Structure 1
């Protein structure tokens, strides 16, 4: 008895679908319930005039703003801490207008001083995720490094981020950085 090529293709298709279904189930069961950004520690967003112990709308005290790293220079600049996974938008007077947590990129920039080289309002990231408010400041081993926010608001998948340079922020923080940092703005990377 001879088996037709259509039956072989159908059998291979069914087998492939079964394998893919099993892999999808396995991936779903091992994935965390919800992707999150790293904990910001004291404050995810510092606002001028906020002081320790002042009441917020919810009635609880507002945390004190996180101090700008002492070794980050002077003047208007974006400060990125590799160890704290935090960004400060520092005004010319040396005070931070905004402080927020970020998800680090798979490829990290070196400690040092840079400047914003280019910006894109909306593109697709190298991980295939639609992103917005992209602010690029260096290249490391052929990988462009910059800040961006996923349009979906999702945190990056650390396993897929192995060779990407996207330092991901929340959308609201991305909009603030976008307004703050035109091309030429200083970016200081600290430990």
Structure 2
């Protein structure tokens, strides 16, 4: 009879980890580049309504950094009738909610998740080795209780982190390197 451990889901998915780390590096680069191009090198943005009676009214909403420098979206853009284009509140609020500071915080969180996943996989490998060593030393099945429980707990932890990592990776499903089998049903 085969050991039930051979049927457990594989835990270390190097390709998934490399894929996620690559997307995080891209997002970090883009966030840092956007800071460089934003007036005043602002990292946190908010949406503000342009006064309708302003002489330089460009229509709609604009971004304003926390350092008070405004960045007008759509400046210099006009519709077919020659009216200045502005952006609706939802668009500007969405852009402001995804400012560089927010993106960098998300990246930090995802990197912590990856680190925890790697640590859980390592813990699982160590628990598996301890169980295998106990078996090789002649331990009877009834004597393997603690080692088996440690392995089961380590496997559950690593499997849970893997599921979350797969779910987080799914936001990049349209990237050419994304693998469909990473997506959980």
Q: TM-score range by the shorter chain?
A: under 0.3
TM, length-normalised to structure 2: 0.25
TM, length-normalised to structure 1: 0.25
Instruction: Pick the structure with more strand per residue.
Output: 1
| Greater Cα radius of gyration, structure 1 or 2 | 2
